[in-house]
Structure 1
Amino acid sequence: MNKKNVIIASILGVVIILLALGAYFYIKEQNRKLTLSYLVSQCKEVGAYEEYEEGYADAYKGTKYVCYNKDYNQLVKFKEDEKSSQETYAFRVETPVEMGNSGDKFEYEIARIVVDTVNPKASKCTYNYRGKADWKPCEEKALIKSLPEISIAKERAYSDLEPLLKEMNERAKKYYMGENSEYNEAKAEEVYEKYEKQLDVLRNTKL
């Protein structure tokens, strides 16, 4: 092999090594983005959080985060108790629409995952949190990869729910302001029934 060929071979060898290193670090970075710790790091902690659940006497203690993510804008992390090895991560969307006269904004959940830090095989997730029957075995990366798809499906369902929610709010305001002449109870009940049905669609998203 002459000197020229040696130089070419050396250059090609260096290029191959650099490409391999680039691919390695790219894959490593992409995998890092598919972790809950990374998603939490992209959000801003806003304080302590308590969540109550039917059938559970005490509140779940946790931390609430505001997120600047196209798929969700809230993330809540909590445990049943301090001794538990299970950590729950709930991905949610807070909308601009208020719920009645409370001043609270309507929010819906994209998905949640329970990670068992002692036994990873016990991890489980759900897209439709309405009770134990909705929980399915899942992996952290698989859930994170599916968040964009779930978010789109939930957003479609919410787009049909939003006008009903706004109409309910308007009717409630008229009622509490004493504008009874403009309040039609039968119509209000009809709107509420439609709202309940669409809310069920939102909570039972199918992928």
Structure 2
Amino acid sequence: MKANAGIIGFFVAGIVLGRLHAVPATADLDAISLGVLCTLIFFVGYGIGNDTTVLARFRSLSPGLALLPAVSILGSLAGSLAVAMLAGGHSPAEWLAVGSGMGYYSISSVLITGYRGTELGTIALLSNIVREMIALLGAPLLVRLFGTLAPIAAAGATAMDTTLPVISRTCGPRLVPVSIYCGMATDFSVPFLVTLFCSM
């Protein structure tokens, strides 16, 4: 719980500092974010590399786990169709395009904006940020309610990067290779699915 409070605290601090324009306008925020993310992933990788049993644990996992990315993608698309029926405002194909972002907001929102305009692109951006925040902050609850694979499926494309440390902590190091695999496979699907549904 303390770690989650820390994440929320940093998020709120970022909002406050952004509103105050505390960071110089000349700062390359994308480069800074990438640097912090790379550092974070380095330490996750170091932890995996330092564990001599990680490959043995990966081999012992059930082959059924190879289907986890497909389950995550299908669940996301099913949720998007449910939103389409409840919210309306956009066509089912457009809601499916939003759901196809899988948490990968840096590419999905840009693609959707290019195909369908700023409004839907903004919805996609917010949707993917909310998905990532749910995976970051809700991982312990997801584990309790649905099991150790739930945070990985919920994280989508972010399971291999930004949410990986939280997944490692809440689901256990044994599932880190699964999380990376699921994130990579889901990540790969994003441009194809977004383009497909935007073209309908």
What TM-score, normalized to structure 1? 0.27
Give the structure, 1 or 2, with the largest relative contact order (CA under 8 Å, sep 6 or more). Answer: 2
Structure having the higher helix fraction is 2
Which has the larger strand fraction?
A: 1
Asked which structure has the greater CA Rg, the reply is 1
